Amino acid sequence: MSELTEKGKKMRTKFLLAIPALVAAFAAGGCKLPAANTPPAGHTVNKNGVYHRPGLTDPMTNCGQCHGSDLRGGSGPSCYKCHGQKW
């Protein structure tokens, strides 16, 4: 195996020094990830642990605003992820 070049050593050092800074930023709240399984407001119908908005039986009318007009994703995820080709 070849030795690291001087440039490679400097890049490795910068990378290793960046890790604690990233960890500190996350710990300080610099990056907030959504809580797992937290439904958006208005999603009150629980279907096997997944929350939907009322009107889910007519998704093309009631869900397209967030999930896309074809339900393949918009500001919300694709309905096909969970429902497959049902849509």
Determine contact, residues 87/71, Cβ cutoff 8 Å. Answer: yes
Which 3-state string (H, E, C) describes the chain?
CCCCCHHHHHHHHHHHHHHHHHHHHHHCCCCCCCCCCCCCCCCCEEECCEEECCCCCCHHHHCHHHHCCCCCCCCCCCCHHHHHHHC
Is the model's pLDDT at 2 over the cut of 60? no
Dump pLDDT digits (tens) for 9-32.
Answer: 888 887 777 777 656 655 544 334
Dump pLDDT digits (tens) for 41-87.
Answer: 899 999 888 889 999 999 999 999 999 999 999 988 899 988 887 66
